Amino acid sequence: MNLILELLLLVGIIIYSYLESLVKFFIPQRRKSVAGQTVLITGAGHGIGRLTAYEFAKQKSRLVLWDISKHGVEETAAKCRKLGAVVHVFVVDCSNRAEIYKSVDQVKKEVGDIEIVVNNAGAIYPADLLSTKDEEITKTFEVNILGHFWIIKALLPSMLRRNSGHIVTVASVCGHRVIPYLIPYCSSKFAAVGFHRALTAELDTLGKTGIKTSCLCPVFVNTGFTKNPSTRLWPVLEPDEVARSLIDGILTNKKMIFVPSYINISLIVEIGAGFSSKRPHGDLQQSAAPGPGDLTSSDLLQHQ
């Protein structure tokens, strides 16, 4: 029965992709300019954060790059400067609330107001629940969701005064669909998606329609940290593909950015059909692929 449902889902994906291409060809979306705007990106020392910084540099934005790794973030900054961007670098541990608040104050003094923030820093510890250490669970939530709260609480007042800005939450398809051996990670990403939706609703209630929000939800990303990122229906993405989709979603003010875009249809069908959480990702388990900005435990101290 599952095979029949998967075949129907595959047909639906093909039809959706074809129709989406036609719509984009005949009705292109208007893209806003972010030239000259100040963009804060966390977890900018590697992976999706680094590649997103490159994309903003190409758009002539001014960059504020955060990462726990001085070496990694300096490498990103050097490439962005070659692309013509003005770059400010800060070494920040996004699991540390006091450090986040201190760094935001420093940014305000040295750079000015942030107009776009991309909360990309992340942590992941693939393991079964009983093998996951308490401190690993704590760290996952500190980086993947609590850090978002502290950063936005610090930056939101100036956005509210201006009724202008863009808040980007980097989540994952794991914020919509659970995967074994990633319980803390999935839980934190569900929280990140909820944070995005609740913040969006609150801004709308306040009448602050000039402040845009976007949430990035990609499937598995080939970050080099996974041994067997095989899937049945969901592709394994390259980081540059995710970064391009993210910048496109930001420039078109897209609220939910699924990568690939047909995943939203896939999720609806799977939930409705009651697919097993094991089906589309085959052999992931303890070698599950981290999403954008995410790391294995061995790399957490070097990068965010």
Residues annotated as part of the active site: 185
Enumerate residues 6+ apart whose C-beta is below 8 A from 127. 136, 181, 286
Return d(Cα 262, Cα 254) in angstroms, integer.
15
Return d(Cα 215, Cα 52) in angstroms, integer.
14
Give the residue ranges of DSSP H helices in 111-238: 134-141, 147-162, 183-205
User: What is the helix (H) or strand (E) element at residue 108, kind and residue range?
Assistant: helix 97-110
Cβ atoms of 299 and 252 within 8 Å: the answer is no
Return d(Cα 126, Cα 292) in angstroms, integer.
15
Instruction: Provide the edge-to-edge strand list for the sheet that holds 62-67.
Output: 87-91, 62-67, 38-41, 116-119, 165-170, 211-218, 256-259
Return d(Cα 295, Cα 94) in angstroms, integer.
13
DSSP helix/strand/coil, 198: helix
User: What is the helix (H) or strand (E) element at residue 272, kind and residue range?
Assistant: helix 263-273
Nearest of 128, 178, 142 to residue 286 by alpha carbon? 128
Cis peptide before 260 (omega within 30 of 0): yes
Q: Which two tokens stand for residue 32?
A: 């806003």
